[in-house]
Amino acid sequence: HIAFRFTGTLVLAEHTGGKLNPITLNAVSAASKLGEISVLVAGTNVTKIAEQVAKVEQVKRVFIADHEKLKHQLPEHVAKTVETLQKQYKFDHVVAGASTFGRDVLPRVAAQFDASPITDIIAIHSNDTFSRPIYAGNAICKVKSNAPVKFLTFRGTAFQPAKESGGSGKIEKAPETDFSFDGVEFLSQELLKSERPDLQSAKVVVSGGRAIGSADNFKMIYELADKLKAAVGASRAAVDAGYVSNELQIGQTGKVVAPELYIAIGISGAIQHTAGMKDSKVIVAINKDPDAPIFEVIIVII
């Protein structure tokens, strides 16, 4: 193989069921501050996704990796694809959204290049200097990377999504990858289906905590959310109590949201929860306890 010196950034596109995950657009917009953008779309039958990605502003190249082994985008196989691509094109930055997918794949690839990754970036200062939250968002750490290749994940809510038009990326096939690794096999998937807007991109989020009392009472949260065209979230306590499933958990170890309006109902506001919502524009807390810590971060209170 001829190794091209290609000063640029590779963005890993994330998609499910023929749909591009919006966090990819946030990652592209973050990456546009770093250099010329190439995007990798890995999966099976991904031509449509690749065409969609090619139209995203700033995208110069789209690599398609289409292989049966990539069907469920298991990190072991996607990482191998990225590794092959990186060996050939030598990007300066390899980046993704800080989602399960990005967090799964990027460090695995970084290990092959003896590079320390930087995860969950919220600000880009230069090509090698970034800020990221630590201690559940209670401190912000500014770091400079001397890694040979910068492997980065970006927090979606910290970057505006790139426009889905205006780009004219060239679509090409990714180099052949060795998929002989057989240590892992996809079995099944159980995805939460909901008519409501996606939690991480919703403009309004209504969230319930332990004080809601039961899964039945959580219906009130859903009704309010429907009225406001909002997504529904929950605290860890509400998930642990079995009121809702864990995909709805907001916080340090759940999802991070930053909507226009966040309504926290019956949530005390533990550090781990506020880590996931304190960048919301307006926060409303509805709580019987006037001493609840959530009131330290809110605007309007009942």
Handedness of CA 286, 290, 296, 300 (dihedral sign): positive
Comparison of 219 and 282: residue with beta carbon closer to another protein:
282
Comparison of 36 and 247: residue with beta carbon closer to another protein:
247
- Furthest CA-CA distance within the chain: 67
93: CB partners within 8 A, 6+ apart: 8, 9, 10, 31, 34, 35, 127, 149, 150, 151, 152
Least separation in angstroms between CB 96 and another protein: 12
Least separation in angstroms between CB 5 and another protein: 22
Q: Decide: 19 and 43 in contact? Cβ < 8 Å.
A: no
Least separation in angstroms between CB 61 and another protein: 25
Using CA atoms, how far apart are residues 122 and 148, in angstroms rounded to an integer? 21
Comparison of 123 and 171: residue with beta carbon closer to another protein:
123
Structure tokens at 27: 């990652």
Using CA atoms, how far apart are residues 80 and 71, in angstroms rounded to an integer? 14
Tell me the binding residues: 210, 235-236, 249-253, 266-273, 287
What secondary structure letter does DSSP report for 198?
Answer: P
165: CB partners within 8 A, 6+ apart: 55, 56, 57
Least separation in angstroms between CB 133 and another protein: 7
Comparison of 156 and 169: residue with beta carbon closer to another protein:
156
Q: Give me the helix-helix angle, 100-112 and 75-89, nearest 10°.
A: 50
Rg (CA), the chain: 20
Least separation in angstroms between CB 21 and another protein: 8
Handedness of CA 216, 222, 227, 233 (dihedral sign): positive
Comparison of 106 and 211: residue with beta carbon closer to another protein:
106
Comparison of 143 and 171: residue with beta carbon closer to another protein:
143
Using CA atoms, how far apart are residues 165 and 153, in angstroms rounded to an integer? 23
Comparison of 51 and 247: residue with beta carbon closer to another protein:
247
Handedness of CA 279, 280, 281, 286 (dihedral sign): negative
Tell me the binding residues for FAD: 210, 235-236, 249-253, 266-273, 287
Least separation in angstroms between CB 213 and another protein: 19
Least separation in angstroms between CB 60 and another protein: 28
